[in-house]
Amino acid sequence: MTQPVAIVTGASRGIGAFVADALQGAGYAVERGSRSTAPVTDRAAVEGWVADVVARHGRIDLLVNNAGVIDSEVPLQESDPDEWWATVEVNVLGPYLLTRTVLPHMLSAGNGRVINLNSGAGVRPGAVASAYNVSKTALARITGSTHLAGKGRGVFAFDLAPGVVRTDMTQSMLAHRGRTEWTDPGDVTALVLALASGDLDAWSGRMVRAGSDSAESLMARQQGAGGVGEHDRTIGLVPWGADDPLA
């Protein structure tokens, strides 16, 4: 069998490095992205990198959009507009460009999975670091659109919230100062491998969370009597009741 190929962005350190190592250990040929490989916000660099990967391997089975940054932990009115927008560019434009470039190859092959490293911040507004929350909500919409683009065509997309893994970024954040409990990186990589395997394709277009979910718990849910509901683990409008005209 031809060796499966994975692209992992932001793979030089932190969660990206953990994920890339785990995929390599599972038998994937892993292409590790970094600022020096291909800045995720540079369209030409992204397209050139992906073309090179396809030329060398002939396929892309998995894309893990992990590269991301956070803005300063200040209220919106105190934020720096340039930093705010740069955060959105890395966290939204980056995954969009990678997905847009990789997706045609997956659709042509009739097989592929995209895993976007999201966050619980994506399902709520933020009192501080608002660009990060905005970007992660937007990322979930990219995931949903990728899911719809691949529906019935063998391509699936997932949001994976990694919890709070001890990394350079999380240790520098005021929100985590003094934290003593961290998500085990092994919980993150186990979910990545499970999602990549195809066993959890029922969760395509949805969010799963390391440390709360496991491959076993998600499998049990999708195989249970209720299965996976239409709106389970998706972001949408919560109506005030059945008489809400927006319901």
Q: How far from 205 is each of 13, 54, 102, 145, 202, CA to CA, in Å? A: 27, 25, 17, 8, 9
How many distinct helices (H) and strands (E) make up the chain?
8, 6
- Residue 207 CB partners (closer than 8 Å, separation 6+): 118, 122, 123, 140, 158, 159, 160, 161, 233, 234, 235
**C-alpha 237: how far from chain center:** 22
Give the separation between CA 58 and CA 139, rounded to whole angstroms.
Answer: 28
**C-alpha 115: how far from chain center:** 5
Instruction: Please pick, among 28, 96, 136, 151, the residue that the annotation labels catalytic.
Output: 136
Q: Which of 175, 164, 181 lies closest to 117, judged by CA?
A: 164
- Catalytic annotation on 151? no
By the 8 A CB rule, do 228 and 203 touch? Answer: yes
Helix (H, G, I), strand (E, B), or coil: what is residue 110?
coil
Active site members: 132, 136
